[in-house]
Structures are given as structure tokens and as C-alpha cells.
Chains A and B, each alone.
Chain A
Amino acid sequence: MPRLDRHSQPRHILLIEDNPADVELTRQCFRESRVLNEVHTATDGDTALAFLRRSGPFATVPRPDLVLLDLNLPGIDGREILASIKRDPDLQTIPVIVLTTSDADDDIREAYRLQANSYLRKPVDLDEFIELADVVCTYWFQYVQLPLPERATLLNH
């Protein structure tokens, strides 16, 4: 696939997912996207929040441009992570996409109630998944206008 990105820098995606098979699969699919991206992984809620807040061992990691969130996780579950992100003034502008197997109406409703930016069901078919990854990257990194992070805005002025 031809690369579409006009940025030489890759876009950073934080994937919050505990299943190694799914992590690998998602990485594979996003690698095929036409938009240059780098997928970072957190396998539980605490790690994910530490990564996002760049605390502890994550002091030097980049601020993710997009979060892919599985709902069912061990320990702090996806809904709580989502709520924490949207409560945090530094993080709430980062788009969070729920990427999960569940198509239960309750889960969908709850996710949007907690201000998820999208709710996507993991496709069964590999090709569909690859296509979805490309659509997500194209949409969020090529078309959507997002504000600069609060701190960065302050620094610019």
C-alpha cells in the first residue's frame, strides 16, 4: 500500500489490550496502514495510565495521538481507564477508541456515556481488520483536527 503520510514522524498509538494474540494481530494490521504509526502496548490499566501520564519508567515516552482500548481487562477494567482519561484535563483531548469483541448494547451505551470517541468491534476477518486499521489511521491522523496538548499550547504562547 502506498504511504499517505505527510509527516515524517510516526503517529503514536497506545493499545491497551491484555491478550497477546490480539496485541500481535492489532500491531500487524496497523503496520499495514498507509499512515506511518507506532503502536505502544499496555496490558493493564495501571500501566496504561502510567504511560499516558508519563510517570515512573514512562517518563520519556511520547504522548499518544490515539488510544485503542479493550473493555475487558484484568484489574482496572477498560471502562475505568476510559473514565480516568476523560476526567484528566491533560489527557481528555486524546481520542479514545474502544476496540473490543463485545457488541452488547449496554457496553456500547456505557462507552459513549463515558465519552469514548468511537466504539469499534474487532472484525472477524483479517482483511477487514487490516482495512479497519487503515481507515482509523486515515481518519484520525489525516482528516480529524485535534487541539494541541494543553501544556504545549502554553509553551507556544
Chain B
Amino acid sequence: MSRLALFNSMPTAWNHLVGRDALSHRPQSRRTSTWMALLFSIGIFVVDCTLPASGTLAMLHVLPIALVLGSRRQELLISIGGLCVLLTIGGYFIGEAAVLPSEEVIQRGAALIAMGLMAWVGWQLVESVEAAQQLRIDSCLRQVAEDAATFFRSMVDHVPIGISRTDLGGHFVYVNEEFCQMFGASVDDLLGRLQDEAVPQLAVKSSGSMIRKSIDLGQPEERIEKLTIGEREQYMKVIRTPVKDAHGHVVGIQSLLLDVTELKQAQNRLERDAQNLERSNVDLQQFAYVASHDLQEPLRAVSSYCQLLEKNYTAQLDERAIRWLQFVVKGAQRMQTLVRDLLTYARIDNKAESWITVDSHAVCRLAIDNLSQLIAESGAQVTVGKLPMVLADDTQLEALFQNLIGNAVKFRSDRLPRVSITAQQVESNWLFAVRDNGIGIKPEFHERVFEIFKRLQSQEHFPGTGIGLAICKRIVERYSGRIWVESKFGQGSTFYFTLPNPHASTEPEHATP
């Protein structure tokens, strides 16, 4: 552990030694000038000791003093100056032994005075230069600060957010223009006043505990409050932040008020719409249930009792009565089929969204299996190309294939029916095609075949309710796809539909080797 600590501290120590540390830069230069000044003083002292004395030598001591001036430390200057004086006097005694010529003393004395003066003048000079510099820096800083303050004040005043600050007693210490406008007051009206009095709408009592908590934790507190300002009701997003001083003590509360009335109204509208939609969905499900149960019961009674009459009272009924009873039975049974088909159609959207990756090839095969009797009876040839993985619900996809292939076989002409199912990638979708050589559809019906219960053929020739393609359309559109038909009357039809590709820009699963 300690070794590790030592290891970690090494780079710092190294930086300190080589003076690479940015902080140590200034002391380093200061130390250099001190050493140089000392070296100079001692050098002059040595020269003074070996050469015949003269005032000029003493004057040379000014140099080290000038050097230490650069260090800007008064105590260093004084100590170097003192050292030079001592050395000068020492040099006199060692260099010029015994005799004390008055001229020499005067010279040395004058030199000392000159040195002292020099040091003093130098010091003053440095001081005044520094003061002037400081003054210039101060004024620059003040200017920058003023500019910044003006910039921020104008910004703060013009942002569409009300900003206020109160002290801990709840008195306003700052409000911006937007805040004043929000409550129809002027800055002077508000500053210094108690917030609860001046702006009772913002009364802290409602959210007092929150504010207390916010102060205690030092955390901002955010909430949407409904305020009545004048006649209007407004929704305000209020963000309260504790204001701290330099020591981290909370000294007040800053509040930011953002008018979110429009947003809130839009949100309310959206919620209301969503509720309505949910209600209507529930109603629709209820309807579907009613249709499946209550609507079918009377129909069954009608058809069953007609059949009972026909069965048990044949002797009492003539041929016409029996035929009419059969019409009633057929009518009721057809009505029941229609109700059930309608129910199937209505339930497509009821089913919970289940978008999974489905192998459309396998699903198509399943649909063909379901139709095996029809296919066998008609002698139809059904070929399935390479079909991809798609995003859909497998049961619904099966119903889609079954309806389209079933129709292709059912609406056959005199020719042997041939049906082919293929798919190709078009942008991020798969485009499926179910092609047949059946009776075809006249152009004016290309759109209308997808309408619910729309039939183009007589019940006699092609029985059915006409729900199949409507169901197909609803299923495809549920997966954001499109379905349409291209057909030449008498020659055949191709039904196209698109389904989303689960991983766009990949090859069909079955095409990959």
C-alpha cells in the first residue's frame, strides 16, 4: 500500500524537481534571480578585495540590487541591499589594510548612500508601475464584468421565463421583467416585499414542505402549478433552486417560472382524446361480443324452429309452405354467416399488437394446406416462390394468404387454375404477388373489391359473403402495408401487398444458400 502511494507520488515529485509544474514556475525564476544577485555580490566582493579600492566598485553592488528588484519581494531586496553594504565595508577593511584615508571613506560612504537611494527609487518605481498595471487590469476587468452583466441582464430580462430570487425570509431580492409581467407588477413593486404578500398565487404554503426539503437537500425542486392570474388560469412549471453563498450555505431560493398553459392544455386534450378512444374501443369490443352472442341467438331460434316445423309437421304442410320455410332457414343462416364475418373483420384490430418475425413461406404453406380440399377439387396448380421473413402476426398472415389463394382458386375460369405466390424486396418492404389465371376483374371494380361485403358475382356461381378481401385489406393496413389488384378481365388477376421487412436490406431467408 505505502509502496503504491510512493509510486503514485513519484511523477509529482519529478515534476516538482524539474520545475515542470506550472505552479512552480514563478518561484523558480524568483529563486534564480536571488542566487544570481548573491553570486554577483560575492564576485564584486572578491574583485574589491584584490584590486585597488575605488568608489566605482562599490557602485557595482547596484547590479545585484537591480537583479532582485525583479523578484518583487521587499524583504529580499532589503536583505540583499544589507549584504552588499556589509560586503562593501568588509572589502574596505580587507583590501586597503590599516590606513584610513578620508577620501576613501567619503567615497565609500557616498557609494553606500547612492546604493540606498538606488534601492529606494527602484522599489518606488516598481511599486508605481505595478500599481498602474493593476489599475489598468482592474478597469479592463470592470469593463468586461459590466459588459457581461449587461449582456446577461438583458438576456435574463427578455427570456420568456419568470425569474425571481428571495432570501430565506421570503423577500424578493431579484425579479426579472418577465416575472413582473407575469404578475402585472413593476420591479419596484416587488423588490424587498414578501413573496407571499406581493404574489399570493405563488404562496409557499402549498409547496412549503417541498421548498423546505429542497433547501435541506440543496436539490432543485420542479413541479407544475396551476395559478390564477387576474381572470386567467395558467399552468406554470416552477423550478425552485436553493441559492448558496461562497461557503455553501443556503441563503435564498431562486424560482424559474415557465408558462406551460398551452402545452398543458394540449396534453389535457390529448389525454381526453385517448380516453374517448379507449372508451370507443371498449364499446366496439362490447359490440363485437353482442354481435357474436345476442345477435345470433334469435337467428338460431328462427332457423332451428323452421327446421323443426319442416321436420315434425311435414304431413300438415304443403310443398309451397315447406319451400318458404327453407327460404327462412337459408336467410337466417346467411345472416348468421354475415354476422360472424363482420365479427372476424371487427376483431382484426382488437387483437393485441403482435409484431413478430414470421416465416411467410411456412405460413403460406399452412394456408395452402387449409385449402387442400378446394385445391384438389379444382385441380389447381399452386406454386410458391421463395418467400421471406416478415414482421406480422402469424394467424393474420395465414388468413391473408388463405383468402387470397382461396379467391384465386375459387374465381377460376374454364382453364385449369394456376396460382403462383412470389415476393420481392422493394425498398424497406417486401412486395408479395398472388397471381392467378381466373376470371379477372373489370377495371372499375379494382378498388371496390376491397369494400366490405362487396360482391361482384352471383351467390349461385360463387358463394360467399364478400368479406375476404376487406379482411385482407384490414390486415395489410394494420402492418402499414398496401394492397391492390392488377387484372385483365377474362385473363386473370394479380393481388399485390406489401409487408414490412424485419431487417431491411437483407436477402430473403430462403434465397440464402
> Which A residues have a C-beta under 8 Å from some C-beta of B?
19, 21-22, 25, 28, 72, 100-104, 122, 124-127, 129
| Closest B residue by C-beta to A106 | B289
B304 close to A101 (CB less than 8 A): no
- B71 nearest CB across to chain A (Å): 93
Q: How far is the CA of A103 from the CA of B340 in the complex (A)?
A: 10
- For B303, list chain A residues within 8 Å (CB): 124-126
Set A21, A72, A122, A126: member contacting B307, Cβ < 8 A: A126
On whether A25 and B301 interact (CB within 8 A), knowing A126-B307, A127-B307, the answer reads yes
Q: For the complex, is B166 an interface residue (Cβ under 8 Å from A)? A: no
Residue of A nearest to B302 (CB): A21
Establish whether residues A21 and B301, one from each chain, have CB atoms under 8 Å apart when the complex forms.
yes
A19 contacts across to B, CB distance below 8 A: 297, 301
In angstroms, Cα B293 to Cα A103, docked, is 8
In the complex, whether B422 has a CB less than 8 A from a CB of chain A is: no
Complex CA distance for A21 and B305, rounded to whole angstroms: 9
Q: Which residues of B contact A129 (CB under 8 A)?
A: 304
Interface residues of B in 279-327 (CB under 8 A from A): 288-289, 292-294, 296-297, 299-301, 303-305, 307-308, 311
How many chain B residues sit at the interface, stated as a range, is 10 to 19
B positions within 8 Å CB-CB of A:
288-289, 292-294, 296-297, 299-301, 303-305, 307-308, 311, 333, 336
**Bound Cα distance from A151 to B336, whole angstroms:** 46
Given contacts A101-B300, A124-B300, A125-B333, contact A25 B308 (CB under 8 A): yes
Q: A122 — nearest CB in chain B belongs to which residue?
A: B300
Alpha-carbon separation in the docked complex, A103 to B291 (Å): 11
Question: Is B296 within 8 A of A22, CB to CB?
Answer: no
Say yes or no: A124 contacts B333, CB within 8 Å.
Answer: yes
- A106, B511: Cα distance in complex, Å: 40
Find chain A residues with CB under 8 A from B301 CB: 19, 21-22, 25
One of A25, A101, A126, A127 near B296 (C-beta < 8 A): A101
* B308 cross-chain contacts in A, Cβ below 8 A: 25, 28, 126
Give CA–CA (A39, B297) in the complex, Å. Answer: 21
Whether the pair A72, B293 counts as a contact (CB closer than 8 A) is yes
Rounded to whole angstroms, the CA-CA distance of A19 and B296 in the bound complex is 13
* Given contact pairs A72-B294, A104-B292, A126-B303, a sample of 16 additional A-B residue pairs in the complex whose CB atoms are under 8 Å apart: A19-B297, A22-B300, A25-B304, A101-B292, A101-B297, A101-B300, A102-B289, A102-B293, A103-B292, A122-B300, A124-B296, A124-B299, A124-B300, A125-B307, A125-B333, A129-B304
A20: min CB distance to chain B, Å = 10
Which of chain A's residues have a CB closer than 8 A to the CB of B311? 126
A104 to B296, CA, bound (A): 13
CB-defined contacts of B300 to chain A, threshold 8 Å: 22, 101, 122, 124
Cα–Cα, bound, A28→B300 (Å): 14
